[in-house]
Structure 1
Amino acid sequence: MRTRIARELIDAVRGVPPVLVSEALCRACVSLVPGVSGLSLSVLGQVAGTGVVLFASDEVAGLLAEIQYTLGEGPCTEAVRLRAPVFAADLTRAPDVRRWPLFSVQAAKAGAEAVFSLPLTAAAGALGTLDLYRDTAGPLEDGQVCTALLVADALALAVTALENASSGSGGVVTWLEGAESDRVEIHQATGIIMVRLGVSAEDALLRLRARAFVQGRTSLALARAIIDGSMDIRHE
């Protein structure tokens, strides 16, 4: 099974231009893990508590990842902390609602009643998460869990290899490059908040998240507004 999954992911990106690799991987992952409404792959940002969505099968999948990084709670943030799978089979009732009260409400609004997060792990720690969701509540079947774990392992290897690839190694161009601007924007906005409000990096990031939540926006969207000057944070 592990060999088959790795082969299918490799075949999916063979000969694909770097700019289209994430899209090709996304399609392959969707075909490998049937029975879910959608999925996304995220990697951790350079600033603690931030993440970048590398690909999402649909708008809901991408939004769920952004919501969790904005709120700082949810299965994916817990999976990164624990370096273990975290499953929320029913976000409409306890215990999941008690565990993530803010995320549960936002997930339901987005159209998801179940979310399953699997960490992408490496020797140095968690790289990010593979997140699956369903629009109806209920647990994954054993076969789906097994397949999803193997897909997450294969993606962890792919992300590690691409992050370590240099521009001169056989002309390899990492498909993470396009997402790097997202990490930089959140980092830059955090720096602006630090300077203007005289707070620490951790406090600046918390303020960014809080303002984003109050306004119903993602951290990335708010970061861009701070950078382009359309959002004045001096009266925070």
Structure 2
Amino acid sequence: MADVLRSLRVFDERGDPGADCARVLGVPGVAVSLLVKADQGPESVWCFPELTGRFEDLQFTLGEGPGPDALRDGVPVLEPDLRLVRPERWPVLLPAARELGVLGVNCFPLGIGAARVGVLTVLCDGKPLSDQQYIDATALAAALTSAALRGDPVAGPGGLRRAAVHQATGMISVQLDVPVAQAMLRLRAHAFASGRPLGEVAADVVARRIRFHHEGEDRDDDAGGDMSGPDAPGETSPEDGRG
């Protein structure tokens, strides 16, 4: 862990910081998300393995889960066995997490006092973290907080993963003439209702395959149904690539 902490300044030049942290912590998966814009959700900057990234995307899409709670409250959220969590706490996330195969999650807020900069997510196999694992994860969270506040590059070789989401949110904000936070809610609702990943829907918005309207449902190329007439709910105009 000492080696990993010393390497934080050069994460962008290394192979896979998530894999290194998971190996050192002895856990199935690790992810780090940072707040890029205050009025939007945290941006996943690196994760290992793919399952962790899918769980991070799930939390981001739904806006609920241990990560959002840790970021909001500023305290670690430790749920080593999601089967024991009350269903009403995260009513949508829990069944989706079980479907993914995520057994337990521990989320550590990155920040100092009221200043929050992100979340460290540590998956587990249904058992609580050991004392040493908890100490190491806390040390990693503190080091990541310091790196983020200094402006050190911790995004890893893949860079930001949700650039399209932020761009799409801005476009929806303009289309609907609503605040960015409300535009993000509309984007999340569309992704959840369609059963598609948030990033995939965002990419369609950026590519103008989906356009949001005040009236009716927002529709895309895969939505089906009668799309005749320029005023059909959610239908895009010719300039949006529909012809």
**TM-score normalised to the size of structure 2?**
0.78
Q: Which runs of 5+ in 2 are unaligned?
A: 219-243
Deviations 1:204-233 (A, max 9, x none): 111111111112233322211101012232
Larger Rg: 2
> 182, 190, 203: which one pairs with 2:162?
182
Q: Which runs of 5+ in 1 are unaligned?
A: 166-173
Deviations 1:89-142 (A, max 9, x none): 2222442x33111111111111101110001113661111110113x4232222
Distance 2:102 2:144 in 1: 23
Tell me the SS of whatever aligns to 1:137: coil
Distance 1:27 1:19, change over 3 A: same
Distance 1:19 1:153 in 2: 19
**TM-score normalised to the size of structure 1?**
0.80
Distance 1:180 1:114, change over 3 A: closer
How many equivalent residue pairs? Answer: 214
8 A Cα contact 1:52 1:179, kept in partner: no
Letter in 1 for 2:159: A
Superposed displacement of residue 189, structure 1:
1.3
Superposed displacement of residue 188, structure 1:
2.3
Match in the other structure for 1:152: 141
Is the helix fraction higher in 1 or 2? 1
> 52, 61, 74: which one pairs with 2:52?
61
2:117 paired with 1:137: no
> 199, 212, 217: which one pairs with 2:178?
199
Match in the other structure for 1:210: 189
Runs of 4+ with deviation above 4 angstroms: none
Distance 1:124 1:176 in 2: 23
- Root mean square deviation, CA, Å: 2.4
Tell me the SS of whatever aligns to 1:101: coil
Q: How does 1:102-181 map to 2 (within 5 A)?
A: 102-122=92-112, 125-134=115-124, 136-161=125-150, 163=151, 174-176=153-155, 179-180=159-160
Superposed displacement of residue 191, structure 1:
2.2
8 A Cα contact 2:8 2:154, kept in partner: no
Distance 1:121 1:33, change over 3 A: same
Match in the other structure for 1:20: 13
Letter in 1 for 2:72: R
8 A Cα contact 2:35 2:43, kept in partner: yes
2:79 paired with 1:88: yes
